[in-house]
Structure 1
Amino acid sequence: MKQFLYTICFTLGSLSLIAQESQVKQWTFQECLEYAVEHNITIKDAAYTTETANVTLQQSKDSRLPTVNASASQGFKNGQSIDPITSDFVDEQINTTSFGVNASVNLFQGNQIKNKIKQNKLLADQNSLYLEEAKNSIKLSVTQAYLQALYAKEGIAVAEKTLEASTKEVEQAKARLDAGSIAMQDYTDAISQEATNKYNLIEAKNNYEQQIIALKQLLELEPEVEFDIVAPNYKTYTAPILPNKIEVYEAALGMLPEYEAAKLNVDVTEKDLDIAKGNYLPTLALTGSFGTGYTSSQNMSFSNQLDGNLNQTLGLSLTIPIFNSFQTKAEVQKAKIAINQSKLEIISLQKEIYKNVATAYQNALSSQEQLEAAKSASKAAEESYKLAQKKYNLGALSTTDLVVSQNTFTNAQLNYLQAKYLNILYNQLLQFYQGNAITL
């Protein structure tokens, strides 16, 4: 009975594991892109930075509003003193209570508030562009990781077919050894090749799992989440026609957010100059206060004194800068230098963008030529391997020569896969630089 229950539990457990394995979600490339953009922590961090910039913008707008503060105090005095409520000279112990409200608002501050608002608006726009740059960076990283995973997945298929062929060859070699038609060395060569191909299959699977781990991390998936990818149909892949390199570069300048952000940085530094120059101008502020109080030196009730001691003030405050140890002059000079540096950054970024576009273009061109060569080599190696198998079956070819032919075919297949996925990657980069969506 116990054995029967154990069998039932084991069977149910096995079925559960099989069901779980069959439920492993296969992610398409588009699903990976969308999920990464929504969940990647680098993008989230950039989004928080953008939110902070927007809060700073609102803060600078709110600086136009007046500041209002309320105050209250309680004091005790003994001996000769001035009554803080009545301003009378007294020579007795008194206690006082005072209440007040003070307000001030800047009417003019060398246009610094206005320029700071404009600058913070530019910074908010700039951070929005940095957020888009972060999204683009993650998209490119996901594209690269996905293609590497696809390459590794096809590598597993190649390794499995190669191992399957070598296993059959071992069986054939064993039969021929038993029949006395081959030497022991030929048989051991076949066994050695089968073991090598088993090792290659394990390595191919491990490489695929490593690429899956990298892709899962970009998507911010938990380690326990089962993950697999959908392989597009690239059996009859043909390299696309390459676009004009200069046109791609010009399109990149018009769509890359980091380039727009660099141009905005010039405007930001120009506002720094305007703000620094504002320190040369006077500051005008409007101030007002409202107060009342109670003192024990008066023979009046608390409420009557609060009503009778009411006071209000209203005034203008003008501050004219005369000399501040050349601090403003230095700030103006540094702002001018920063403007020139920001313009140099644009030139430097233009060179970097051109380098990236030109590199992607050259790699696409090179991989296209490699693809054609690898395709021809793979077909030739396949025909050669088929011919070698026929000769081997007829006893006209040694196991060593068959192994050499098999390895040549396997390497040719892997070279073709590598050239194919590199060509896909570089062509997708060129599409990206033109502002087109990345599609696999």
Structure 2
Amino acid sequence: MKLKLTATLSIFCVGIMMAQEKKWTLRDCVEYALEHNISIKQSELDLQNADLAKADAKGNFLPTVNANASHSWNIGLNQNITTGLFENITTQYTSAGVNVGVDIYNGLQNVNRLRRANLSILANQYRLDNMKDDISLAVANAYLQILFNREYLNISKAQISVTEQDLKRTKELVSSGVVPKGDLLEIQATAATQEQQKINAENALRLAKISLAQLLLIQEYESFDVVDEDFMIPSTVILDYTPKTIYEKALTVRNDIKLSEANVALAETDIKISKGSLYPRLSAFYGYNTRASYQDIVSGAEQDPDNPNRQIGVVQETGQSVVTPNFRSIISGPNNIFEQFGDNGGHGFGVQLAIPVFNGFATRNNVMRSKVNLERSKLQLQQDKLNLENTINQAWNDAIATYKAYEAAEKTLEARSEALKYAKERFNVGLMNSFNFSQAQSRVDNAAAELIRTKYDYIFRLKVLEFYFGLPISIN
């Protein structure tokens, strides 16, 4: 049992270590962000509300059916339905009914509301997709920032390794009297500076990882890391297209433009709905109502045994009394409630025409307000198109500029590296002092950092252009 428990704990610990050591790809990060982002979840709820609004719009075509029931007690002076007299009694009544109403014509408002509901679903879907695009781009930017800081840290470590070798060589030269001790101090200062740069690079990498982890809503960000890959300049044909071509393609694929176009269609439908209130409204109705009473009723009559006859007159010639049987009412309890409902039921139906005449300019103002909203939506669409065109032109120019900067940084690093080799040869034979040698090393360090910066800056600019062209975000 102890052996099994130990094996189980070992497997559990290994599982935890594997979970902690997982390294995320860009695709992993994007998919996780799209699944867990709070703004996306809120937008998905908005889409669900739009679906419910469509169900409401469909329901407007169906008849309205309402049932009612009531039971009342009347205490005090009430008419006795048995005797017809007013008495101080308590009476009970139950009534029930059902009413049905249906719109026959209401200015096509129900039709237009259904159209609007469909457009609203489409608009919310575009809004959700646009939010996903923006988050994907933000994740890609944060991911590239980690790669940049990691590569810069690797270069810093490599520079320290080279400086340590130079420091060892300088100690030997100082011992042999080839170079003064001041050169050794200069190299030691350079090593200390590079160590500080490495610490700064480690902090920058850690902050970049935390930033991406927080963007993904990952709480255990201390163990968060991305895959170890060396991303080179990706091959792409996006720069073969002109900004105008990319813009024209973006108009057909960008969700923010589709959203603005859907908002224009929504505003146009709102005008039709508002104008529908200007037309007469024709509706039909049907109602059924019934009632029941809990009072005693007269169920029949019988001859009064105590007074079987009663005089109704006298024969004038003979004086003989004219009598008739004396009947009295037979009082019994109320009929069965369901029988009363059946006997007392009544129907009512008809059509109703409502013609709007004057309502304080409310309908007219609603129409004008809808027209204003339409113009605002059209202007917003134009502004979004202008913003998209400006963004694409700026992104295209930035991509060209950063690529040229990358090429220049590459040439600069190559030249600085050759200069450093020459300086090192001169330093080793005592023809260059440590200060000038340190300056040559510093220029190489700066050139290497600039090459990394321009590299990832260019990669991100390419991703932005491809993003606007409708291509999925990837680095490979």
TM-score of the superposed pair, with normalisation by structure 1 = 0.89
Whole-angstrom distance in 1 between the partners of 2:436 and 2:35: 54
Match of 2:292 among 291, 294, 299: 294
The structure whose Rg is larger is 2
SS at match of 2:471: coil
Pairwise CA distance, 1:381: 0.7
Structure 1 partner of 2:420: 385
Alignment map for 1:342-353 (pairs within 5 Å): 342-353=377-388
1:77-108: CA deviation from partner (whole Å, max 9, x where unpaired): 2445579x99x895442121222222322222
Aligned to 1:279: 277
Report deviation, 1:256: 0.4
Shift of 1:214: 1.9
The CA deviation at 1:250 is 0.5
Secondary structure of the equivalent of 1:101? strand
- Residues 402 and 90 of structure 1: CA distance in aligned 2, closer, same or farther (over 3 Å): farther
Matching residue of 2:302: none
Distance 2:121 2:95 in 1: 45
| Counterpart for residue 7 of structure 1 | none
RMSD: 2.7
SS at match of 1:221: coil
Aligned to 1:42: 39
| Superposed CA offset, 1:13-36 (max 9, x none) | 9xx89x938961222222322332
- For structure 2, list consecutive stretches of 5 or more residues without a partner in the other structure: 1-8, 298-333
C-alpha distance in 1 between matches for 2:72 and 2:160: 95
Q: Relative to structure 1, is the Cα distance of residues 45 and 363 closer, same or farther in structure 2, using a 3 angstrom cutoff? A: same
Q: Which secondary structure state, in structure 2, belongs to the residue aligned with residue 284 of structure 1?
A: strand
Which 5+ residue runs of structure 1 have no aligned equivalent? 1-11
Question: CA–CA distance in 2 between the matches of 1:244 and 1:372?
Answer: 21
Query: Percent same amino acid at aligned positions?
Result: 28
User: 1:411 aligns to what?
Assistant: 446
1:180 Cα deviation after fit = 4.5
For residue 188 of structure 2, what is the amino acid of its counterpart? I
Q: Match of 2:277, SS? A: helix
Task: Specify whether residues 239 and 370 from structure 1 end up closer, same or farther in structure 2 by C-alpha distance, changes over 3 A only.
Answer: farther
More helix by share: 1
Aligned to 2:213: 216
Q: Which residue of 1 aligns with 2:306?
A: none
CA contact (8 A) 2:268 2:374 kept: yes
1:107 is aligned to 2:104: yes
Alpha-carbon offset, residue 434 of structure 1: 1.5
Tell me the TM-score normalised to structure 2 length.
Answer: 0.82
- Per mean C-alpha deviation after superposition, the further-off stretch among 199-208 and 35-44 is 35-44
Distance 1:99 1:250, change over 3 A: same
| Kept after mapping to 2: 8 A contact 1:60/1:120 | yes
- Given that residues 112 and 274 in structure 1 are in contact (C-alpha distance below 8 angstroms), is that contact kept between their aligned partners in structure 2? yes
Contact kept, 8 Å, 2:112 with 2:269, in 1: the verdict is yes
- The answer as to 2:125 corresponding to 1:128 is yes
Measure, in 2, the Cα distance between the counterparts of 1:254 and 1:171.
63
Give the alignment of 1:53-202 within 5 angstroms: 53-80=50-77, 91-93=87-89, 94-202=91-199
1:320 Cα deviation after fit: 1.3
Q: Distance in 2 between matches of 1:314 and 1:346?
A: 50
Residue 348 of structure 2 corresponds to 313
Distance 1:284 1:225, change over 3 A: farther
Paired position in structure 1 for 2:400: 365
Hey, what's the Cα distance between the residues in 1 that align with 2:421 and 2:228?
A: 28
Q: Which residue of 2 aligns with 1:4?
A: none
- Match of 2:457? 422
Q: Structure 1 CA distance, aligned partners of 2:403 and 2:430?
A: 40
Distance across 2 between alignment mates of 1:117 and 1:195: 72
Shift of 1:318: 2.1
Range with bigger deviation, 238-247 or 277-286: 238-247
Q: Is the 8 A contact 1:239 1:423 kept in 2?
A: no
Q: Deviations over 1:58-89 (max 9, x none)?
A: 11111222222222222222445579x99x89
Aligned to 2:268: 270
Amino acid at match of 1:387: Y
- Counterpart position of 2:437: 402
Alignment size in residue pairs = 424
Query: Secondary structure of 1:229's match?
Result: coil
1:119 partner amino acid: R
Give 2:453's aligned amino acid: Q
Q: Which residue of 1 aligns with 2:467?
A: 432
Using the TM superposition, give the Cα deviation of residue 118 of structure 1 relative to its aligned residue in structure 2, in angstroms.
Answer: 0.6
Instruction: Compute the displacement of 1:232 (Å).
Output: 4.3
Q: Bigger shift: 187-196 or 174-183? A: 174-183
Which of 244, 251, 254 is residue 253 of structure 1 equivalent to? 251
| Partner amino acid, structure 2, of 1:301 | N
Kindly state the Cα deviation for residue 196 of structure 1 after the two structures are TM-superposed: 1.4
